[in-house]
């Protein structure tokens, strides 16, 4: 038996990636019985995104998940109860537990159960964007430090626990920060959202360059707006700049008058968002520095899902993608080069080149489908549990 459990998220949160992970698990181990344990509403949301065959073959089991932002003292006993429930009846022979999220209380709970020999079942724990905590500021209070994520990951040897991160660059960075985890970190390509994947088309001109997601300076929104202003001066009317996503809560000081579509104050529905993505020629990823060093970019995954070529800055994930697939768009070293590339495309857009780039993005998309990732997941899991 394989038990897949979500001890952190409720409702719709992480439902697309969790649906993909369930499909990956089922495809990797088609002979195994799979039980999915999660908050009742989360079960419903994931169920909507699963194909009919997988839906029938998975056992859906509700559990009481502690509040999302509960403090360690409240989460720890609650997660111990959840883990005892989901591990009940599991044998360590030819079975394992896949945790789709894991914070410090989750990790300490697993380690305690193993240390007390209350369970011998091998556990894989998926770590998401909160991994950024291990590179950030830490309290000087020794008790607080002992209960943070960095300490939880590093505390004590546990040969029956492996951490799973969703990108090779993230695994590399985790090991750089915590060398003692070498050999305990496994990685998978981050699966793409299930609602992309139509046959790539060439949208009508003028050129459409779009920024996706939350419009913050951390994600380079200020660079995108400045690019729009400069390109409009050099190539008036030849490029449309759209911000397909939400404005930060509390507003922003960035002047967005150069954009053809400004970020939505209230956000967009998934259908509205998808419509905006489909109309784009290129997705602009003006990330700089270490942003997304320890978390996957949902915008990058959306670009892959809809096979949209990229005009990007050199964040670790974007650089790695261009290294593997050089023909997926344009990788710019500086904001000035980004302006030059967009201005050049405004005057020299070539449909044949664009179709070649969308074809390369289709290749990337195939590498992120559940049936492809399942092969790697089967291999890393068999190497761990046998």
Torsion, CA 196, CA 199, CA 204, CA 208, rounded to 10:
30
Contacts (Cβ under 8 Å, ≥6 apart) of 256: 225, 243, 262, 263
How many Å apart are CA 69 and CA 10, to the nearest integer? Answer: 11
State residue 341's pLDDT score.
98
How many Å apart are CA 300 and CA 190, to the nearest integer? Answer: 10
CB-neighbour burial class of residue 67 (10 A; exposed 0-12, middle 13-18, buried 19+): exposed
For the chain, what percentages of helix, strand and coil (3-state, to nearest 5) are there? 45, 15, 40
| Among 7, 190, 180, 231, CA closest to 108 | 7
State residue 253's pLDDT score.
85
What six digits make up the tokens of 27? 């495809």
| Among 238, 276, 242, CA closest to 262 | 242
209, 281 in Cβ contact below 8 A?
A: yes
376, 188 in Cβ contact below 8 A?
A: yes
How many Å apart are CA 3 and CA 36, to the nearest integer? Answer: 6
**DSSP one-letter string for 243-303:** EESBPPTT------TT-SBPPBSS---HHHHHHHHHH-SEEEE---TTTTSSS--HHHHHH
| Among 200, 189, 222, CA closest to 367 | 189
Phi, psi at residue 246, to the nearest 5°?
A: -110, 145
Q: What ranges do the domains of the chain cover?
A: 2-191+369-385, 207-367
Q: What integer best gives the mean pLDDT of the chain?
A: 91
What six digits make up the tokens of 320? 């790695």
State residue 195's pLDDT score.
63
How many Å apart are CA 7 and CA 78, to the nearest integer? Answer: 10
335, 226 in Cβ contact below 8 A?
A: yes
Identical topology for domains 2-191+369-385 and 207-367: yes
How many Å apart are CA 311 and CA 210, to the nearest integer? Answer: 10
Q: Look at the block and give the residue holding tokens 């793409």.
A: 192
DSSP 220: T
How many Å apart are CA 386 and CA 377, to the nearest integer? Answer: 14
CB-neighbour burial class of residue 40 (10 A; exposed 0-12, middle 13-18, buried 19+): middle
Q: Per residue in 185-241, pLDDT tens? A: 999 999 987 666 666 789 999 999 999 999 999 899 999 999 999 999 999 999 999
DSSP 136: S
Q: Look at the block and give the residue holding tokens 């994931």.
A: 46
Q: Which fold has domain 207-367?
A: Rossmann fold (3.40.50)
- Indicate the CATH number for domain 2-191+369-385: 3.40.50.2000
Contacts (Cβ under 8 Å, ≥6 apart) of 37: 3, 4, 5, 6, 61, 62, 63, 82, 85, 86
| Among 151, 163, 152, 153, CA closest to 126 | 163
Phi, psi at residue 68, to the nearest 5°?
A: -55, -45
What six digits make up the tokens of 217? 């300076």
DSSP 331: E
Q: Per residue in 29-48, pLDDT tens? A: 999 999 999 999 999 999 99
Instruction: Provide the residue-wise pLDDT of the chain in tens; the chain has 386 residues.
Output: 899 999 999 998 888 899 999 999 999 999 999 999 999 999 999 999 888 888 889 999 999 999 888 899 999 999 999 999 888 778 766 689 999 999 999 999 999 999 998 888 999 999 998 888 898 888 999 889 999 999 999 998 889 999 999 999 899 999 999 999 999 999 999 998 766 666 678 999 999 999 999 999 989 999 999 999 999 999 999 999 999 999 988 777 899 999 999 999 988 888 899 999 999 999 999 987 666 788 788 889 999 999 999 999 988 889 889 999 999 999 999 999 999 999 999 999 999 999 999 999 999 999 999 999 999 999 999 999 87
34, 59 in Cβ contact below 8 A?
A: yes
291, 167 in Cβ contact below 8 A?
A: no
Chain centroid offset of residue 4 CA: 18
């Amino acid at each position: 038996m394989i038990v897949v459990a979500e001890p952190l998220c409720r409702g719709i949160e992480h439902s697309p990636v969790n649906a993909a992970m369930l499909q990956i698990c089922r495809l990797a181990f088609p002979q195994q019985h799979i039980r999915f344990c999660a908050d009742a509403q989360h079960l419903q949301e994931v169920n909507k995104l699963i194909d009919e065959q997988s839906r029938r073959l998975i056992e859906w089991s509700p559990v009481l998940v502690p509040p999302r932002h509960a403090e360690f003292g409240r989460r720890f006993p609650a997660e111990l109860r959840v883990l005892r429930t989901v591990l009940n009846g599991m044998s360590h022979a030819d079975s394992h537990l896949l945790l789709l999220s894991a914070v410090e209380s989750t990790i300490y709970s697993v380690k305690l159960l193993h240390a007390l020999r209350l369970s011998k079942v091998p556990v894989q724990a998926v770590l998401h964007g909160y991994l950024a905590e291990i590179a950030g500021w830490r309290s000087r209070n020794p008790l607080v430090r002992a209960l943070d994520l960095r300490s939880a990951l590093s505390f004590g040897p546990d040969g029956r626990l492996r951490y799973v991160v969703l990108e090779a660059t993230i695994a590399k960075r985790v090991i750089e920060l915590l060398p003692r985890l070498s050999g305990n970190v496994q990685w998978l390509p981050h699966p793409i959202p299930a609602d992309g994947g139509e046959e790539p088309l060439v949208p009508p001109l003028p050129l459409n360059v779009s920024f996706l997601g939350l419009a913050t300076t951390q994600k380079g929104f200020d660079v995108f707006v400045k690019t729009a202003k400069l390109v409009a001066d050099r190539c008036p009317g030849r490029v449309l700049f759209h911000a397909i996503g939400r404005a930060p809560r509390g507003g922003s000081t960035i002047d967005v008058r150069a954009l053809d579509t400004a970020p939505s104050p209230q956000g967009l529905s998934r259908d509205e968002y998808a419509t905006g993505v489909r109309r784009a020629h290129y997705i602009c990823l003006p990330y700089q520095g270490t942003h997304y060093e320890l978390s996957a970019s949902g915008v990058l995954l959306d670009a892959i899902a809809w096979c949209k070529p990229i005009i990007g800055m050199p964040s670790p994930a974007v650089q790695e993608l261009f290294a593997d697939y050089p023909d997926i768009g344009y990788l710019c070293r500086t904001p000035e080069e980004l302006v030059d590339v967009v201005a050049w495309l405004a005057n020299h857009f070539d449909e044949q080149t664009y179709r070649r780039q969308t074809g390369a993005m289709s290749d990337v998309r195939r590498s992120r489908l559940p049936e492809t990732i399942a092969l790697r997941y089967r291999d890393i899991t068999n190497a761990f549990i046998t």
